[in-house]
Amino acid sequence: MTYPIELTINGEFIKLDIPANWRLIDVLRRDLSMTGTHEGCGEGDCGACTVLVNGQAVSSCLMLAVEANGCEIQTIEGLADGDILHPIQEAFIEVGAIQCGFCTPGMIMTSKALLDKHADPSEEVIRRTLAGNLCRCTGYEKIVSAVKAVSSKLLNQTDSIAE
Amino acid sequence: MIQFEYGCPGSLMETTSILRNNPEAVLLAGGTDILVRIKQGMIQPAMLVDIKSITELHGISSIEQNGLRIGALTTLTELVENDLIRNRCPVLSAAALSMACVQVRNRATIGGNVANASPAADTVPPLMAFDAELEIFADEDIKRVPIGEFFTAPGETVLQENEILTAILIPDTARKAHYIKHTLREAMDIAGVGVCVSRKTQGAPDPRVVLGAVAPTPIRVPAAEQFLSEGKIEEACAAAVDAARPIDDVRASASYRKDVIYPLVKRASYAVFAR
Ligand SMILES: Cc1cc2nc3c(=O)[nH]c(=O)nc-3n(C[C@H](O)[C@H](O)[C@H](O)COP(=O)(O)OP(=O)(O)OC[C@H]3O[C@@H](n4cnc5c(N)ncnc54)[C@H](O)[C@@H]3O)c2cc1C
Ligand code: FES
Ligand code: FES
């Protein structure tokens, strides 16, 4: 048996018919070939599958696709504007916060949810927020630096708009 | 993942009738426990009944003078951020913040944490330290069960198959409380031992001492509470150690758990009784 769902993914309205046991990550990766969202553990422990659901960071391996009916989903594919990368993506590259890249989409989506809410989080808050995103390569320092760099950049932008 | 059907009822009545007609159905709240158990092959439900569209199960409100009613579907993130909870029962916000990671807290619910009945569930010791009551929809009626009578064994509760936990009630929040979650890792870890101590902010202290993860269910220790009300903190700590029945598991050995209870109860007691 399949279930009809309607949702918005990166601003695009989509209708699907899916079995109840498909998780949100299955729809993204298998049905829609959006393979930017990665699956590490499949059990909520690693954060590689993080997407935003109605603006909140969520593990897409712990959410059924049927539960996403009516929701607004943002994935890593939706961040860049054509060839222009999102400031968080830019910062990760500039600072060197990416090695193998497996954790990166999840790291960036969790950081985006944080920065959308708090323009200037403390290092403590950044580290606590990223606690559920595991990285086997970087040792985390550069990831935290990248998030700090982008928050000061975003702040400067809003300052100059205000001026 | 195994196959199952999906239901998304809009009311409690509709939910109970689905449950009655589908004996193999299981309720789905945030899914952060149940989807992991399905993936690991520990359960094979024929149907998941998603209760998130039922409006009565959402929301946090104040009741009586000092009380709180916390809808079963309140997420851990809401417990962390909600002003009523932060002001009246900050220990519950702190316990929620100590749980999992932001991605899980955004989905996981307090009702799921309670109904899942893990001996290590982090919201439970604070709730027991406030004499919380559970509001349950049963046979088209609402009943109340003291949280101390709810858990029967690991993963087991008095909840019947077609009953739904609708809210958690804290009749009186006028208590000072401190929860210590003892873990081996700083983040993303389940409690090896949990300790919550509380006392009334006015009149006789009427303390509560609750231990998590050291017995088949979270437990209150009346003997320790009696000592605390007499100001005997060391004796209270020893009574808590005596009451614990911990097991060996991947997180800690039983003897390690026994060893840390004493200093944890001491620290929590000082935090609550310090002037
Ligand atoms: C990575 C990770 C880390 C975690 N860390 C912690 C932690 O630090 N501390 C901790 O305590 N837990 C932790 N958990 C466990 C889990 O997140 C919590 O127990 C959570 O609160 C469960 O809520 P839920 O809404 O997701 O429950 P669900 O998975 O939806 O449901 C859990 C159980 O309760 C039943 N149920 C749910 N709601 C109701 C209701 N209203 N009435 C009757 N029955 C109901 C369901 O049928 C199911 O059996 C963690 C889980 C993950 C994946
Ligand atoms: S794949 Fe979802 S948290 Fe690891
Ligand atoms: S860059 Fe390799 S896992 Fe993080």
**A50 and A26: one domain?**
yes
Predicted confidence at residue B231, as pLDDT, reads 96
CA pair distance B135, B122, nearest whole angstrom? 19
Q: Among the residues of chain B, which ranges form H helices?
A: 12-21, 34-39, 76-81, 83-88, 90-97, 102-105, 110-116, 124-129, 222-229, 233-243, 254-273
**A92 and A55: one domain?**
no
Please give the CATH topology (third level) of the domain spanning B176-273: Enolase-like; domain 1 (3.30.390)
Test the B interface: residue of A27, A64, A118 with most B CBs within 10 Å: A64
Domain hosting A142: range is: 87-162
C-alpha distances out from residue B128 to B171, B210, B212, B220, B260, Å: 12, 7, 10, 8, 21
Of B106, B112, B97, B101, the closest CA to residue B33 belongs to B112
Ligand nearest to the CA of A42: 2
Overall CATH class of domain B56-170: alpha beta
Mean pLDDT of B35-51: 97
User: What is the model's pTM?
Assistant: 0.97
Q: Assess B189–A contact: CB distance below 8 Å, yes or no.
A: no
Q: Assess A29–B contact: CB distance below 8 Å, yes or no.
A: no
Q: Ligand 3 in contact with A99 (CB < 6 A)? A: yes
- Overall domain count for chain A: 2
**A26 and A71: one domain?**
yes
The two three-digit tokens of residue A71, written as one number: 């929701």
Find residue B164's DSSP bridge partners. Answer: B137
Q: Is the dihedral of CA A18, A23, A26, A29 positive or negative?
A: positive
- The answer to whether residue A161 scores a pLDDT higher than 60 is no
Whether B56-170 and B5-50 are alike in CATH topology: the answer is: no
Mean pLDDT of B12-33: 96
Q: Assess A140–B contact: CB distance below 8 Å, yes or no.
A: no
Test the B interface: residue of A26, A38, A59 with most B CBs within 10 Å: A59
Domain residue spans in chain B? 5-50, 56-170, 176-273
Last residue of a domain, one of A15, A48, A78: A78
Q: Which residues of B48-76 are buried (b: 16+ CB within 10 A; e: fewer)?
A: bbbbbbbebbbebeeeeeebbbbbbbbbb
CA torsion angle for B248, B254, B260, B264 (degrees, to 10)? 80
Q: Which CATH number do you get for residue A100?
A: 1.10.150.120
Mean pLDDT of B141-169: 97
CA pair distance A125, B63, nearest whole angstrom? 33
Q: Kindly report the CATH number that applies to the domain delimited by B5-50.
A: 3.30.43
Could you please report the per-residue DSSP string of B12-40?
Answer: HHHHHHHHHH-TTEEEESS-TTHHHHHHT
Predicted confidence at residue A163, as pLDDT, reads 43
The pLDDT > 70 percentage for chain A reads: 96
Nearest Cα of chain A lies from the Cα of B95 at a distance, in angstroms, of: 15
Nearest Cα of chain A lies from the Cα of B268 at a distance, in angstroms, of: 23
| Per-residue pLDDT reduced to its tens digit, A56-97 | 999 999 999 999 999 999 999 999 999 999 999 999 999 999
Last residue of a domain, one of A26, A53, A78: A78
Output the CA B205–ligand 2 centroid distance in Å. Answer: 45
Find residue B48's DSSP bridge partners. Answer: B6, B26
| Per-residue pLDDT reduced to its tens digit, A39-59 | 999 999 999 999 999 999 999
Predicted confidence at residue B7, as pLDDT, reads 97
Give the nearest partner residue to B187 out of A20, A42, A131, using CB atoms. Answer: A131
Predicted confidence at residue B105, as pLDDT, reads 98
Predicted confidence at residue A160, as pLDDT, reads 56
Confidence of residue B275 (pLDDT cuts 50, 70, 90): low
Rg of the Cα atoms in chain A: 16
Last residue of a domain, one of A78, A109, A135: A78
CA pair distance B243, B222, nearest whole angstrom? 9
| Per-residue pLDDT reduced to its tens digit, B181-228 | 999 888 888 988 999 999 999 999 999 999 999 999 999 999 999 999
Output the CA A103–ligand 2 centroid distance in Å. Answer: 10
The pLDDT > 90 percentage for chain B reads: 92
Nearest Cα of chain A lies from the Cα of B4 at a distance, in angstroms, of: 6
Test the A interface: residue of B28, B73, B102 with most A CBs within 10 Å: B102
- The answer to whether residue A156 scores a pLDDT higher than 80 is no
Output the CA A132–ligand 2 centroid distance in Å. Answer: 9
The ipTM value here is 0.95
| Per-residue pLDDT reduced to its tens digit, B242-260 | 999 999 988 889 999 999 9
Ligand nearest to the CA of A97: 3
The two three-digit tokens of residue B227, written as one number: 């000592």
Query: Which residues on chain B are in Cβ contact (under 8 Å) with A47?
Result: 101, 103
Q: Ligand 3 in contact with A92 (CB < 6 A)? A: no
CA pair distance B98, B80, nearest whole angstrom? 10
Question: Please, which residues have CB within 8 angstroms of residue B146's CB and are 6 or more apart in sequence?
Answer: B131, B132, B133, B134
Q: Ligand 2 in contact with A46 (CB < 6 A)? A: yes
Query: For all residues of chain B together, what is the average pLDDT?
Result: 96
